[in-house]
Amino acid sequence: MNDAFKALSDPTRRKILQLLKERDLTAGEIADQFNISKPSISHHLNILKQAQLVQDERQGQNILYSLNLSVMQEAMGWFLGMIGTKGDGHDDERK
Amino acid sequence: MNDAFKALSDPTRRKILQLLKERDLTAGEIADQFNISKPSISHHLNILKQAQLVQDERQGQNILYSLNLSVMQEAMGWFLGMIGTKGDGHDDERK
DNA sequence: CATCTAATTAGACAATAAGCTAAATATTAA
DNA sequence: TTAATATTTAGCTTATTGTCTAATTAGATG
pLDDT in tens, B8-37: 999 999 999 999 999 999 999 999 999 999
Report all structural domains of chain A as residue ranges with CATH numbers, in order of start. Answer: 2-82 (1.10.10.10)
Residues from chain B that touch A80, judged by Cβ atoms under 8 A, are 76
Q: CA neighbours within 13 Å on the CB side: how many for A59? A: 12
Please tell me the predicted confidence (pLDDT) of residue A89: 54
CA dihedral for A26, A6, B65, B41, sign (positive or negative): negative
Distance B92 CA to D9 C1' (A): 39
> A62-67 and B54-59: which strand pairing?
unpaired
| B8 closest CB neighbour out of A5, A18, A22 | A5
Contact B50, B7 (CB under 8 A): yes
Between CA B60 and C1' C2 the distance (Å) reads: 20
Instruction: Tell me the pLDDT tens digit for each residue of B39-77.
Output: 999 999 999 999 999 999 999 999 999 999 999 999 999
Asked if the Cβ–Cβ distance from A21 to B87 is below 8 Å, we say yes
In whole angstroms, give the CA distance from residue A41 to residue A37. 6
DSSP label at residue A60: T
Residue B93 has pLDDT above 50, yes or no: no
